[in-house]
Amino acid sequence: MLDRIRLADFRNHAATRLEGAGRFNLLIGANGAGKTNVLEALSLLAPGRGLRRAQLTDIAREGAHGGFAVGADLVSGVTPVRIGTALRAESPGRRIVQASGAPLPAARLAEWLSVGWLTPAMDRLFADSAGARRRFLDRMVLALDPGHATQSSRYEKALRERNKLMGADARPDPQWLDALEREMADAGAAVAAARARTVERLGAELAGVPDAPFARPQLAIVPAAPADPGELADLWLRGRGADRGAGRTLAGPHRDDLAVVMAGTGRAAAECSTGEQKAMLIAITLAHAGMSAGSRPLVLLLDEVAAHLDSVRRAALYERLAATGAQVWMTGTEAEPFATLPERPAAWRVVDGAAERIE
Ligand SMILES: Nc1ncnc2c1ncn2[C@@H]1O[C@H](COP(=O)(O)OP(=O)(O)OP(=O)(O)O)[C@@H](O)[C@H]1O
């Protein structure tokens, strides 16, 4: 789990320290106080752009020097490991990541810990773009298969390069394109296979979970390309004309989607009620947390989740969270909905970009 958390110039937090974290952790405060900002900081201890997918320069505190830093002790073995990420004002394009004092590519943070989240913005996930669902799926894949981040970034890098060569003014060398497509095929097939394995395992986990009190979802990947590397390379070779016309790579695992249906009804998740959609998201998150337990430390960030549930679902959420062994960070405007937690939480009151421990 994470402890001794430090935020420096991170959104409205000039210098915030959270110490004495536990299994359950609460951030209580008024709207706009800076609770989600703390969760966002923790989400940047995983590969990717964090729970808001923000531009790094937007995260740096307004009026400060243009950089930010987040650090935490990862306490899992005997000796805590200090992990952190920072943006230096001098190099605003890329965040720096460190573990145990040594620099690390952000993709390799997944080897240290898994971070998952549910935020109010995700209420629209099932009706949202395929990209949002793909990112949701990829985060779950990462927890089970940390090598996924490296394969994904390998694929994305080659894809970006190929897209440039599909531009109207480009004069691509066919041999260079062949090489890029082989690289994409190799990494893309690994990405697709890892997604398929995760969805299969999640499906098996969800099948064993009762329908109530959370709706039970059934998941399936909607593949946008074949999974075999040879077939993938062939697809891009044959698609060069169409891709040049479009100015980008039209087909590939970067267009995969995740289909979600409510079990028992066969109804697509996007057509279910808001409450049912939220219940399915929680069910997926809990099933995934249950599966991930034991591999790497798992941190779950639940922004405004508990307060919006009825008391039966809230009790079920707490009970199942406790069973996963994950470290959980929850936000709320009031402490009252957390009174029924099965363990005494560590709690902070967040006021205007500062956090004070509540005893
Ligand atoms: N780069 C930044 N510099 C300074 N302040 C920022 C920056 N980015 C966002 N903020 C401020 O952070 C505050 C929002 O914080 P946050 O989203 O964490 O609130 P919250 O406590 O989760 O509120 P709610 O309960 O409404 O979700 C806003 O006042 C916003 O103006």
- Contact assessment for residue 151 and residue 180, using Cβ atoms and an 8 Å cutoff: no
Is the C-beta atom of 67 inside 6 A of ligand 1? no
pLDDT at position 183 is 97
pLDDT at position 76 is 85
Is the C-beta atom of 62 inside 6 A of ligand 1? yes
Could you tell me the pLDDT band of residue 5, with boundaries at 50, 70 and 90?
Answer: very high
Ligand 1, atom 5: nearest CA belongs to which residue?
12
Is the C-beta atom of 35 inside 6 A of ligand 1? yes
Is the C-beta atom of 63 inside 6 A of ligand 1? no
Is the C-beta atom of 33 inside 6 A of ligand 1? yes
pLDDT at position 93 is 87
Could you tell me the pLDDT band of residue 293, with boundaries at 50, 70 and 90?
Answer: confident
Question: Mean pLDDT throughout 283-295?
Answer: 87
pLDDT above 90 (res 172): no
Ligand 1 pocket mutation, candidates 12, 38, 304, criterion most atoms within 8 A of CB = 12
pLDDT at position 77 is 77
Could you tell me the pLDDT band of residue 70, with boundaries at 50, 70 and 90?
Answer: very high
pLDDT above 90 (res 170): no
Ligand 1 pocket mutation, candidates 36, 70, 348, criterion most atoms within 8 A of CB = 36
Residue 37 annotated as binding?
Answer: no
pLDDT at position 146 is 87
**pLDDT tens column, 109-130:** 999 999 999 999 999 999 999 9
> Which ligand 1 atom lies nearest to the CA of residue 29?
21
> Which ligand 1 atom lies nearest to the CA of residue 61?
3
pLDDT at position 182 is 97
For residue 36, report the distance from its CA to the centre of ligand 1, in Å.
7
**pLDDT tens column, 182-239:** 999 999 999 999 999 999 999 999 988 877 888 889 999 999 999 999 999 999 999 9
Using the CB atoms, write b or e for 107-144: b if 16+ within 10 Å: bebbbbbbbbbbbeebbebbeeeeebbbbbbbbbbbbb
Peptide bond into 213 cis (omega under 30): yes
Could you tell me the pLDDT band of residue 169, with boundaries at 50, 70 and 90?
Answer: confident
Residue 164 annotated as binding?
Answer: no
- Contact assessment for residue 16 and residue 29, using Cβ atoms and an 8 Å cutoff: no
**pLDDT tens column, 301-348:** 999 999 889 999 999 999 999 999 899 999 999 999 999 999 999 999
Does ipTM exceed 0.90?
yes
Spell out the domains of the chain, with CATH numbers in brackets.
Answer: 1-113+296-359 (3.40.50.300), 123-274+287-292 (1.20.1050.90)
For residue 304, report the distance from its CA to the centre of ligand 1, in Å.
14
Is the C-beta atom of 119 inside 6 A of ligand 1? no
Torsion of CA 68, 97, 23, 208, to 10 degrees: 120
Residue 339's identity, in one-letter code, is A
For residue 52, report the distance from its CA to the centre of ligand 1, in Å.
12
Torsion of CA 235, 240, 245, 250, to 10 degrees: 30
Residue 34 annotated as binding?
Answer: yes
Question: Mean pLDDT throughout 149-165?
Answer: 95
Choice among 68-72, 152-156, 217-221, 295-299 with the minimum mean pLDDT? 295-299
Q: 171 or 328: whose pLDDT is higher? A: 328
Question: Mean pLDDT throughout 168-178?
Answer: 90
For residue 182, report the distance from its CA to the centre of ligand 1, in Å.
44
Ligand 1, atom 15: nearest CA belongs to which residue?
34
% of the chain surpassing 70 pLDDT: 100
pLDDT above 90 (res 264): no
For residue 179, report the distance from its CA to the centre of ligand 1, in Å.
45
Residue 32 annotated as binding?
Answer: yes
Residue 11 to residues 31, 46, 48, 254, 282: CA-CA distances in angstroms?
A: 15, 18, 18, 31, 28
Dihedral over Cα of 11, 39, 296, 143: its sign: negative
pLDDT above 90 (res 248): yes
Question: Mean pLDDT throughout 87-110?
Answer: 93
For residue 306, report the distance from its CA to the centre of ligand 1, in Å.
20
pLDDT above 90 (res 102): yes
Ligand 1 pocket mutation, candidates 7, 10, 11, criterion most atoms within 8 A of CB = 11
pLDDT above 90 (res 51): yes
Could you tell me the pLDDT band of residue 43, with boundaries at 50, 70 and 90?
Answer: very high
The reported pTM is: 0.93
pLDDT above 90 (res 66): yes
